Amino acid sequence: MSQQAIPAMTASGQPVLILREGTSQSRGREAQRNNITAAKLVAEVLKTSLGPRGMDKMLVDSLGDVTITNDGATILKEIDIQHPAAKMMVEISKTTDNEVGDGTTSAVILAGSLLENAEKLIVKDVHPTIIVDGYRKASNEALKAIRKVAIKVSPTDRVWLTRVAKTALSTKLVAKHADTLAEMVVDACLQVAEKPIGSNDYSLDIDDIKVEKKPGGSLTDTSVRHGIVIDKEIVHGAMPTKVTNAKIALIASPLEIEKTEFDAKLNISDPSQIKAFLDQENQMLKTMSDKIKKSGANVVLAQKGIDDVVQHYLAKENITAVRRIRQSDADKIAKATGAKIITNVNELRSSDLGSAGLVEQREIENDKWVFVEKCAKAKSVSLLIRGGTQRIVDEAARSVNDALMVVKDVMEYPFVVAGGGAPEALISNHLRTWSNKLSGRIQLAVQQYSDAIEKISLALAENAGLDHIDAQVELRAKHGKGNTWTGININSGKVDDMEKVGVFEPLAVKEQIITSSTEATSMILRIDDVIAGVKANPGPQAGGGMGPGGMPGGMPPGGMPPGMDM
Ligand code: ADP
Ligand code: MG
């Protein structure tokens, strides 16, 4: 049981209170069990969403907004998790998402089963540090085994890249359109990938690809556009809608006269004063337009508003302008065209301008959008995602993001493995054999690792409706005979050679799944003392609110915090 404070006595029998009243502490087995249970629960939530036959989750936030997804990282990001160990599981999915962009569900499931199996050993009195040690050895061996069989590919080979993109997309809501979307994703990546001078390796900055969403039409209307798409229209009807050899001024400040924060009163005694006042305002606005004109710009992209008067003068000078563009767009335009983002229009110089071969307004559905193309500096492309509803385009954009990332993974580290749980089954098989070379308790830990990683293949089988035991027996038998890529063929619902089926994934993703889940598991296993209620933030104003137990944020006594009983 958790205690209210650490009971300690001085030599004279005086109790010593180390922790403030109201602090809860759980130690040893108790602490470990709580942590493991919490982490396992998180893995359990994700288990059913693994693979092409995985289910989606509908997440409803406190305002009633709905997100539908099966992306591990997104699910965990949206759930308000409070338990500290469960939060570490969220970290695993975040790290995996940031590093390689895919495999987030697998990483959490693996961590969950590593912890579950560790618990079996803890009960048998194997010390956690030995388990941690065994797990580390097992993960190193797993990496060796998988690297040995990985297939080396050419980093710009369209066929391989498309296969990998397709696998990532086929587990998502957009699976039906995986083929066409995969092609577009690869197009976009090949467009922006670069080989830095003096390097043999490609590098790809995902930020060079802008994923733009627009509900309406269907997913098949999704397209790749060269250049940057701004979902805003040109502000004034008299401005040119097509500018070749664009000189772009990128302005962060408003092209307006800023209103004072407080009410100002103007005492005017003579009508001519009104005119003088208005003239002066007009003059200030005209000056803005003049400065822009003087810099040589023929396109103004403003992050804030543009006053009607400024619009008028700009239009007169044949300068085209767009207002209220997003910060993220401004950053991309700055990178692609070489424009400097200016905060004071009076300081705009010609050297601050960016250049693009073409800036043009075009109609998308019923909206007018501005395209910045043939950029001078970086190559950049936009993926314009279309789809029936906002939720569909949102989930499609997340899926496309995964696909972009796996293509990047392969371009930067050109090795792939077959999917469908084949690599996991291979590793599991290898570790089981390898563990025979070890002795003592370490061996037990490695065997548990082997069982844990097999759970990924089995979860895929289960989600595909295969019998768990049959699948396990067949996987083990085939891998025992050295059939490297035996995995779960979701389409036929059979155990199959996944290389022949043509499902491939980046080696980078598999490596990341192994390292991030092993690291997090080790960290959780090393904890033998959870002290909750330490110097909490002062509650409601910190945004955390009070839990039902009246404790701000932290873990209530007894272990499981509210919200974990999912
Ligand atoms: P993660 O977040 O871990 O990427 P996914 O839901 O995307 O989770 O599922 C990934 C798993 O699905 C991988 O093991 C992958 O090999 C497998 N997979 C993807 N497509 C297929 C397929 N067509 N047949 C069998 N397995 C597949
Ligand atoms: Mg995936």
Q: What is the pLDDT of residues 97-151, one digit of tens each?
A: 999 999 999 999 999 999 999 999 999 989 999 999 999 999 999 999 999 999 9
* 74 classed as catalytic: no
Task: State whether the beta carbon of 105 lies less than 6 angstroms from ligand 1.
Answer: yes
Averaged pLDDT of the chain: 85
CA angle 210, 214, 216 (to 5 degrees): 150
The protein residue whose alpha carbon is closest to atom 27 in ligand 1 is: 420
pLDDT band at 350 (very low <50, low <70, confident <90, very high): very high
Distances (CA, A) of 217 to 187, 364, 393: 22, 10, 10
Higher pLDDT, 361 or 375: 361
pLDDT band at 559 (very low <50, low <70, confident <90, very high): very low
The per-residue pLDDT for range 417-447, each reduced to its tens digit, is 999 999 999 999 999 999 999 988 999 999 9
pLDDT band at 272 (very low <50, low <70, confident <90, very high): confident
Closest atom of ligand 1 to 422 CA is 16
Task: State whether the beta carbon of 414 lies less than 6 angstroms from ligand 1.
Answer: no
**Least distant ligand from the CA of 506:** 1
- C-alpha 228/C-alpha 384 separation (Å) is 10
For position 5, what pLDDT does the model report? 46
- What would the two tokens of residue 73 be? 């990282």
**Least distant ligand from the CA of 516:** 1
Closest atom of ligand 1 to 73 CA is 2
Task: State whether the beta carbon of 101 lies less than 6 angstroms from ligand 1.
Answer: no
For position 201, what pLDDT does the model report? 87
* 95 classed as catalytic: no
Beta strands 341-342; 242-251: pairing state: parallel
Task: State the distance from the centre of ligand 2 to the C-alpha of 505, rounded, in angstroms.
Answer: 9
**Least distant ligand from the CA of 109:** 1
Distances (CA, A) of 48 to 72, 106, 303, 391, 449: 11, 11, 43, 21, 21
Per 3-state DSSP, what percentage of the chain is helix, strand, and coil (rounded to 5)? 50, 20, 35
* Catalytic residue chosen out of the listed positions 69, 104, 167, 521: 104
Q: What DSSP line would sit under 53-83, residue for residue?
A: TPPPEEEE-TT--EEEE--HHHHHHHS----
* 104 classed as catalytic: yes
Task: State whether the beta carbon of 52 lies less than 6 angstroms from ligand 1.
Answer: yes
Task: State whether the beta carbon of 170 lies less than 6 angstroms from ligand 1.
Answer: yes
**Least distant ligand from the CA of 108:** 1
pLDDT, average across residues 481-507: 92
Task: State whether the beta carbon of 111 lies less than 6 angstroms from ligand 1.
Answer: no
For position 380, what pLDDT does the model report? 80
Distances (CA, A) of 68 to 49, 60, 173, 216: 12, 9, 9, 18
pLDDT, average across residues 504-533: 87
* 171 classed as catalytic: no
What percent of the chain is modeled with pLDDT above 90?
A: 51
- What would the two tokens of residue 166 be? 């397709």
Closest atom of ligand 1 to 513 CA is 3
Dihedral pair phi/psi, residue 416, rounded to 5°: -130, 160
Which of 67-81, 287-301, 370-384, 487-501 has the lowest average pLDDT? 67-81
pLDDT band at 554 (very low <50, low <70, confident <90, very high): very low
CB of 410 within 8 A of CB of 398? no
Task: State whether the beta carbon of 69 lies less than 6 angstroms from ligand 1.
Answer: no
| 561 pLDDT higher than 50 | no
Closest atom of ligand 1 to 418 CA is 16
Task: State whether the beta carbon of 72 lies less than 6 angstroms from ligand 1.
Answer: yes
For position 46, what pLDDT does the model report? 86
* Catalytic residue chosen out of the listed positions 307, 402, 409, 496: 402
Task: State whether the beta carbon of 106 lies less than 6 angstroms from ligand 1.
Answer: yes
Closest atom of ligand 1 to 505 CA is 16
Q: The pTM is what? A: 0.79
Q: Looking at residue 437, what DSSP letter applies?
A: G
pLDDT, average across residues 330-342: 91
Task: State the distance from the centre of ligand 1 to the C-alpha of 456, rounded, in angstroms.
Answer: 10
- C-alpha 251/C-alpha 349 separation (Å) is 12
